[in-house]
Each structure stands twice: as C-alpha cells, then as structure tokens.
Homo-oligomer: A and B are copies of this chain.
C-alpha cells in the first residue's frame, strides 16, 4: 500500500518529478534522463498503472485520494499529499484534474513484437505536436487499429499532454519507435504489409480505393506542416488522399487520421 506523505514545502526535493510541467524542453530532458513519464487525472493514472507501468510516486490534493484508493492500495510508491496551491506552485499550472503520477517507462518492444498479429497499423513520420500524437492514438484505438510505429523524430506519446489527450490509448495500443527512417516503409512491405501513404500528391487515389482488398495495412501519416517526406511518399506502396471540398488546403492530421482509420477499418480484404 502506498505511504501517504504530507508535503508542505514546495522546494521539497521529493517533488522533483513534478516540477515545471509546462516547460516542454526542460521536461523532455528530465523525463528522458530519469526514464519517467507523467500521467494526469484519475482515469489516466489508473490506466497507466493497470497497463503495467510501475509508479515512482503520486502527487495529489486530499480530495483525490478516495477516487484512487484502489490504485494506491496496490503499490509501494509514496503518495505526496499536498494542497492545491502547492501543487500549482510546483507544477506551474492549476492541476484541475487533481491526481498526478510519475511512472517508469519500459524498454520499447521490437518491431516484430509490435507487428505480431496486427492487421492494421499506423505509421507516423514527423508528427511533432503532442496533442496530435495523443489524438491519433485515441482515434486509432477507437477505430480498430492494432499498433503504432513512430519515425525517429515523431513526438513522444508518453509526454504528459499526449498521454492526457489519448485518454490512456498510449497504454492500450502497442507501439515502438523505428530506428531506420530511410528504409522504414520497405521494411514493412517485406513483412507483408501494404504501406498506404496519406498525401496530397497528384497521383494519390481516394483512401477508400487505396485500402480496398488490403490484408495487412500500414497507414502512413506525415507531419503537421509539410506532410510526408519525399522519401516516404516514394517508398510507400500506395498514395492515398481524403477527397476534400474545392478550395480547402487540407485537414488537420488528427482529423485526417480519424477519417482514414474509419475507412480502413471497414475495408474488404481480398485474402
């Protein structure tokens, strides 16, 4: 059972994991160095623990203790009990969802482990916005995708904001990071996946046609700004577009992903 530890000094070194949560650059370094990530809100904290991430500690105001009692019962990590003012001083913002937890990252699984048994996977090239990464995980999980692969420069799904937006889907969907950017898509084709790149390229076909008859599908998405790299567009098996109204440039990547996942999950498979 978690030990409840009242803390009244905002400078207490035991709160180090929770400092300055709005400072993205500082947090990236701190979390990578210590192999930790933060979960926020009762539901997300519970899902992180249930997914097998070991808690390093919890931090919350007294009124949130009851809702997480079952989670606290099953761990030996300390729970720092603080006033809402102190939580705000330490984290740098008003923690309106109440509970925070600092949890251990785990070694990323191998590509083959993530792909084992998967029929539909998402492949994200350089999606750099944590909100979009979280939204993509959430839509993928809801709409029948089995796994997510990330290019080397894609934003971290375990960053607090991504975890929160994903509502825990970053724990539900297996994911890993691709080491080799250049040959990432051919490597998936070799493993029996048809890679379908979402792009505005002139030779792209409607996504409904591109996924028709595909058995194992890898749906490939590019960055918010300039979309997919030339290399990934060219090395994908197929190029697909979501048909849009005249005069509109594009959909947001998270909206495009939701539509493409919905369409892809309903594809007829030829095999």
Query: Chain B nearest CB: distance from A162 CB in Å?
Result: 13
Other-chain residue from B131, B169, B242, B252 in contact with A262 (beta carbon distance below 8 A): B242
Whether B167 and A245, one on each chain, are in contact in the complex, defined by CB atoms closer than 8 angstroms, is no
A251 engages B139 (CB within 8 Å): yes
Partner of A258, one of B144, B169, B245, B251: B251
- The interface size of chain A toward B, counting residues with CB under 8 Å, comes to 29
A202 interface contact, C-beta 8 A? no
CA gap between A135 and B129 in the complex, in Å: 15
A143 contacts the other chain (CB 8 A): yes
| Consensus secondary structure, chain A interface | helix
Q: Is the CB of B144 within 8 A of A252?
A: no
Flag whether A142 is at the interface (Cβ < 8 A).
yes
Which residues of B are found within 8 Å of A72, using beta-carbon distances? none
Q: Are the C-beta atoms of A252 and B165 separated by less than 8 Å?
A: yes
Say yes or no: A142 contacts B250, CB within 8 Å: yes
Using A143-B244, A244-B142 as known contacts, say yes or no to A167 and B259 having CB atoms under 8 A apart. Answer: no
Picked from B138, B143, B255, B259, the residue with its CB within 8 Å of the CB of A135 is B255
Is A116 in contact with chain B by the CB < 8 A criterion?
A: no
With a cutoff of 8 Å between Cβ atoms, the chain B residues found around residue A249 in the complex are 167
Residue among A172, A248, A254, A255 with the highest chain B CB neighbour number at 10 A: A255
Q: Is the CB of A245 within 8 A of B144?
A: yes
Which A239-271 residues have C-beta < 8 A from chain B?
Answer: 242, 244-245, 247-252, 254-259, 262-263
* Cβ proximity bits A162-178 to B, threshold 8 Å, 1 near / 0 not: 00010101001000000
- 28 residue pairs of the A-B complex, CB under 8 angstroms, read A135-B252, A135-B254, A138-B252, A139-B251, A139-B252, A139-B255, A141-B248, A142-B242, A142-B245, A142-B248, A142-B250, A142-B251, A143-B242, A143-B244, A143-B259, A165-B252, A167-B249, A169-B248, A172-B247, A172-B248, A252-B254, A254-B254, A255-B255, A255-B258, A256-B258, A259-B262, A262-B262, A262-B263
Q: For A251, what are the chain B residues with a Cβ–Cβ distance below 8 Å? A: 138-139, 142-143, 258
**Within the assembled complex, what's the spacing in Å between the Cα atoms of A24 and B243?**
35
